Structure 1
Amino acid sequence: MSGSSLSGQVVVVTGAARGVGALLARKLAARGARLALVGLEPDELKNVTASLGPDAACWTADVTDREALARVAAEVVERFGRIDAVVANAGVATGGPFLDSDPDAFDRVIQVNLLGSIATARAFLPALITSHGYLLQIASLAAITPAPLMAAYCASKSGVEAFAHSLRAEVGHLGVTVGVGYLSWTDTDMVRGADQDEALREMRAKLPWPANRTYPLEPAVERIAAGIIRRSPHVYGQWWLRGMQPVRGLLPSLTGGAMGRREMRRAQPALARSAGVRRGLVGSGGAADEAARSSVHHTP
Structure 2
Amino acid sequence: MTGTARPLHDRVAVITGAARGLGAGMARELARRGARVALLGREEATLAEVRDTIPGAMCWEADVTDDARMNQVADEVRDRMGHASVVVANAGLAEGGPFGESDPATWRRVIEVNLTGSAISARAFLPHLRTTGGYYLQVASLASIGAAPMMSAYCASKAGVESFAHSLRAELAHEGVGVGIAYLNWTDTDMIRDADEHPVLRELRAHMPRPARKVYPVEYVAERLVRAVEHRRAAVYAPAWLRATQLVRAAMPPVVTALSRREIPRLQRETSFEGTGLLGAGGLADAQGRSPRWQRPAPRR
TM-score w.r.t. length of structure 2 = 0.94
Work out the CA distance in 1 between the residues paired with 2:5 and 2:20: 24
Structure 1 partner of 2:297: none
Partner SS for 1:211 = helix
The answer to whether the Cα contact below 8 Å between 2:135 and 2:178 also exists between their aligned partners in 1 is: yes
The answer to whether the Cα contact below 8 Å between 1:132 and 1:175 also exists between their aligned partners in 2 is: yes
| Structure 2 letter corresponding to 1:132 | G
Q: Which runs of 5+ in 1 are unaligned?
A: none
- What is the deviation of 1:68? 0.4
Work out the CA distance in 2 between the residues paired with 1:287 and 1:75: 27
Q: Does 1:249 align with 2:250?
A: yes
Structure 2 partner of 1:13: 15
- What is the deviation of 1:213? 2.1
Q: Which runs of 5+ in 2 are unaligned?
A: 295-301
Structure 2 partner of 1:154: 155
Structure 1 partner of 2:225: 224
Structure 1 partner of 2:280: 283
Work out the CA distance in 1 between the residues paired with 2:265 and 2:151: 16
For residue 50 of structure 2, the aligned residue among 41, 48, 51 is 48
Count the aligned residue pairs: 292
**Deviations, residues 233-260 of structure 1 (Å, cap 9, x unaligned):** 001121111111111111111112x212
**Deviations, residues 55-103 of structure 1 (Å, cap 9, x unaligned):** 2110000000011000000110111121101000000000111122221
Partner SS for 1:281 = coil
- Cα 1:79–1:207 shift into 2, 3 Å: same
**Deviations, residues 19-49 of structure 1 (Å, cap 9, x unaligned):** 0000110010011100011000101100111
Work out the CA distance in 2 between the residues paired with 1:137 and 1:41: 21
Q: Following TM superposition, where does structure 1 have runs of at least 4 consecutive aligned residues deviating by more than 2 angstroms?
A: 2-5
The answer to whether the Cα contact below 8 Å between 1:4 and 1:229 also exists between their aligned partners in 2 is: no
Work out the CA distance in 1 between the residues paired with 2:129 and 2:157: 24
Structure 2 partner of 1:193: 194
Structure 1 partner of 2:263: 263
The answer to whether the Cα contact below 8 Å between 1:203 and 1:267 also exists between their aligned partners in 2 is: no
Q: Superposed, which structure 2 residues align to 1:10-159 within 5 Å?
A: 10-53=12-55, 55-159=56-160
Work out the CA distance in 2 between the residues paired with 1:4 and 1:243: 30
Work out the CA distance in 2 between the residues paired with 1:197 and 1:153: 16
| Structure 2 letter corresponding to 1:213 | K
The answer to whether the Cα contact below 8 Å between 1:13 and 1:25 also exists between their aligned partners in 2 is: yes
- What is the deviation of 1:274? 4.9
The answer to whether the Cα contact below 8 Å between 1:102 and 1:279 also exists between their aligned partners in 2 is: no
- What is the deviation of 1:200? 1.7
- What is the deviation of 1:203? 2.4
Give the superposed CA RMSD: 1.5
- Cα 1:77–1:195 shift into 2, 3 Å: same
Work out the CA distance in 2 between the residues paired with 1:17 and 1:269: 39
Q: Which moved more, 1:1-10 or 1:26-35?
A: 1-10
Work out the CA distance in 2 between the residues paired with 1:144 and 1:274: 24
- Cα 1:259–1:194 shift into 2, 3 Å: same
Partner SS for 1:84 = strand
- What is the deviation of 1:269? 2.6
The answer to whether the Cα contact below 8 Å between 2:16 and 2:88 also exists between their aligned partners in 1 is: yes
| Structure 2 letter corresponding to 1:280 | G
Work out the CA distance in 2 between the residues paired with 1:108 and 1:31: 34
Work out the CA distance in 2 between the residues paired with 1:270 and 1:115: 37
Work out the CA distance in 2 between the residues paired with 1:90 and 1:292: 15
Structure 2 partner of 1:215: 216
| Structure 1 letter corresponding to 2:84 | I
The answer to whether the Cα contact below 8 Å between 2:96 and 2:200 also exists between their aligned partners in 1 is: no
The answer to whether the Cα contact below 8 Å between 1:15 and 1:21 also exists between their aligned partners in 2 is: yes
- Cα 1:4–1:251 shift into 2, 3 Å: farther
| Structure 2 letter corresponding to 1:211 | A
The answer to whether the Cα contact below 8 Å between 1:117 and 1:137 also exists between their aligned partners in 2 is: yes
**Deviations, residues 99-137 of structure 1 (Å, cap 9, x unaligned):** 222211111000000000010111011110111000000
Work out the CA distance in 1 between the residues paired with 2:208 and 2:31: 36
Work out the CA distance in 1 between the residues paired with 2:263 and 2:168: 36
